[in-house]
Structure 1
């Protein structure tokens, strides 16, 4: 099965499983604005832009969908203004699928003073200090004004470590909010609302959350509250705990993950969708992700290294610029450094996802994972000879 981008636009939101290898599955999500090949990595376009990239570039690298952030867009330029300007797709010139998060994570982590009640959360903007109120219904309303294709329920994402009682309280509140988000979203055949499994690092709470969300018969399911500082083995354990209780016929999205190794391990456990700021943020800070692992272009060892990051890559940023030049740009603080390294990083992430999809189809994901991990250890080694 080829990994060429094929469009199967559908008036309804549908998920089709095309192949399986162990717990990993290859599939395709079809909706009116196009198709999403899974497992998929969604570049993060926080404020309507994937930082340091043209969206045409992002598309050309292989992205079928990008993510927008409800919290940031509601503060600037405002959801009602985006709607007046034709919605986020037209505003940002991205006519393909967009997923918006609910804004809950940013409310909990970025805003100033905040107060959580059964009705919602009152919070202070990190931009100008203004007070706002977000209920589950308002979160869905904002995402509707933005015009996104996949919308996330409002949930309470608490920081770990936390006590079991506090984790249970937040998980149960999130379930009640999921019901309200489902009612507010209503019947939109060509779009989807995903529920979010919470429960921290407690297996029983995760199972309770997953079972309750599955009973709501939503169009997709996310696993939230992970990749927030817990060890990787804890994250994988929570994924393995939850998976048996999520419907096999619906897509599964691990929020905010992550490193290439996190993604590879999560795919092997049945996850279909990922997003993370890591490739773009790392690019702006001099770190390249490559087939050979991570390369820190700040290191002086690259100052006279004429080799590109990877001579075999199809990405011009990866193939055509020397490590010495990239090192110079990083050390000089030139904006081009972030542009080229972000381009490289997103290219690598999409190449990794394409390789994963092909490996699942060929029934050789375990071998692909072993080969890929073996290459990563070569990352920041000095030149040979």
Structure 2
């Protein structure tokens, strides 16, 4: 791990500003990781990501193993070279896809929605067997296979394979699933140790659903294994209150000398809450997915009383609005284009609309994280929060 290190520069309460050093550069934490799921941020190129201050992006093992395949990516020089991205990268293990293949998304599950297609065939201690959504071919994803794929992809930070425990199942199922994930994590570690070359580090993942005793057991397992970092995964509850409680359980028990990643969280209010608990990094599709639905993130001083964290530029109220998304934003979109123009592009279904709003949202989140880091250094995080929420 000589090419990697994690340093806590300043702690303010439980919130902390730190530095994750990798072969592809350093990540100032807290940091947001944007999701380039299939090896691309939808409608945004890597140069624009860099210009917007992005430090690190995430790609998805499951999707990339199906297309174009890890061997193809390896022959092209790995994800960094293929994508033209020279900064740090993280790959997830495919564990969340096992969850969604069998149970749907978290929101679908909580709302009781059942989508038509379920491609997960079986899951047991050996691994997960599923059909490709692309061509119907059958695949088996094991802990060993997940690590092998991620080594070929070449991301700096990689994750163990786990089962993202469903929300609606019993505590007994959750316990069995968690312990299976621990066995998978051990096998992931063993496979990782076989051929590590100092170019990657491995994160363990805490499971245990919404149950405090199971989360404690899982954290103790993670703490005693030689991981570089740790992530909080699985079901985090049915609402924000329960989610905050589950994250707090984990932060009570997890080691404090490792970088801690929270999987799948991306709203502004959730980011502040988690940082106050000691979380270092986040990933979520929310900012970029929101942009593709016409949603532009804005600060409180640019919001109406009805608006929460974003405005919907599809709304007719913006048809003749010559103001930028935010007057005080220096991103390319806000410097060059009006809300009215973006409204028109959305109505005309011009793809440029999605690119411009995506760029703004990425720039916005990166500015948010920069402001939070500085506020931690200055011991004024609670005051900074009022500028964003």
Q: Normalising by the residue count of structure 2, what TM-score does the alignment of the two structures yield? A: 0.91
**Corresponding position: 1:46 with 2:37:** yes
Q: Structure 2: where are the runs of 5+ without partners?
A: 102-117, 301-308
- Residue 287 of structure 1: how far off its partner (Å): 0.6
How far did 1:175 drift? 0.7
Moved over 3 A (4+): 187-190
Q: 1:15 aligns with which of 6, 19, 22?
A: 6
Match of 1:236 in 2: 244
Aligned-partner Cα distance in 1 for 2:100–2:318: 36
Following superposition, the deviation at residue 366 of structure 1 comes to: 1.1
Give the corresponding residue for 1:4.
none
Within 5 Å, give how 1:282-301 maps onto structure 2. Answer: 282-292=290-300, 293-301=309-317
Shift of 1:101: 0.2
In structure 2, distance between residues paired with 1:259 and 1:17:
24
What CA deviation, in whole Å up to 9, does each residue of 1:10-46 have, x standing for no partner?
Answer: 9421000011111100000012111011001011111
d(CA) in 1 for partners of 2:181, 2:10: 33
The answer on 1:199 being equivalent to 2:214 is no
Q: Is 1:277 aligned to residue 251 of structure 2?
A: no
Shift of 1:251: 0.1
Query: Could you list the per-position Cα deviations for residues 199-255 of structure 1 after superposition, in whole angstroms to 9, with x for gaps in the alignment?
Result: 11111111110111111031000001246x721111111111111221211000001
* 3-state SS of 2:373 partner: helix
Q: Which moved more, 1:287-296 or 1:248-257?
A: 287-296
* Aligned-partner Cα distance in 1 for 2:375–2:76: 42
Q: TM-score, normalised by structure 1?
A: 0.92
Aligned with 1:144 (options 142, 148, 151): 151
Aligned to 2:256: 248
Q: Distance in 2 between matches of 1:230 and 1:166?
A: 17
Tell me by how many angstroms 1:161 deviates. 2.5
Partner of 1:216: 225
CA deviation vs aligned residue, 1:147-202 (integer Å, no higher than 9, x gap): 11111000001221321111111111111111111111114434210011011111
- 2:27 equivalent in structure 1: 36
Secondary structure, aligned partner of 2:277: coil
For the residues of structure 1 that align with 2:386 and 2:321, how far apart are their CA atoms?
29
In the alignment, the residues of structure 1 paired with residue 172 and residue 229 of structure 2 have an alpha-carbon distance, to the nearest angstrom, of 27
Aligned counterpart, 2:132: 125
- Across the two proteins, how many residue pairs are aligned to each other? 363
Pair 1:76-2:50 in alignment: no
Equivalent residue for 1:90?
81
**Matching residue of 1:62:** 53
After alignment, is 14-23 or 289-298 more displaced? Answer: 289-298
Q: What do you get for the CA RMSD once the two structures are aligned?
A: 1.4
Aligned pair 1:181/2:172, yes or no?
no
Q: Secondary structure at the match of 1:29?
A: strand
SS of equivalent residue, structure 1 residue 151: strand
Per the TM alignment, residue 318 of structure 1 is displaced from its structure 2 partner at its CA by 2.6
Instruction: Please list every run of 5 or more consecutive structure 1 residues that lacks an aligned counterpart in the other structure.
Output: 1-9, 374-385
1:76 shift after superposition? 0.5
Q: Displacement of 1:272 after TM fit?
A: 0.3
Secondary structure of the 1:91 match is: helix
CA deviation digits over 1:323-347, x for unaligned, max 9? 1111111122110111111001111
1:41-73: CA deviation from partner (whole Å, max 9, x where unpaired) = 011111111111111111121111110100110
Aligned with 1:268: secondary structure?
Answer: helix
* Deviation (angstroms), 1:113: 3.3
CA contact (8 A) 1:11 1:32 kept: no
Does 2:353 align with 1:344? no
- Output the CA distance in 2 between the equivalents of 1:158 and 1:124: 20
Name the CA distance, whole Å, in 1 between partners of 2:68 and 2:281. Answer: 28
2:34–2:285 CA contact under 8 A, matched in 1: yes
Cα contact 2:17–2:29 (8 A) shared by 1: yes
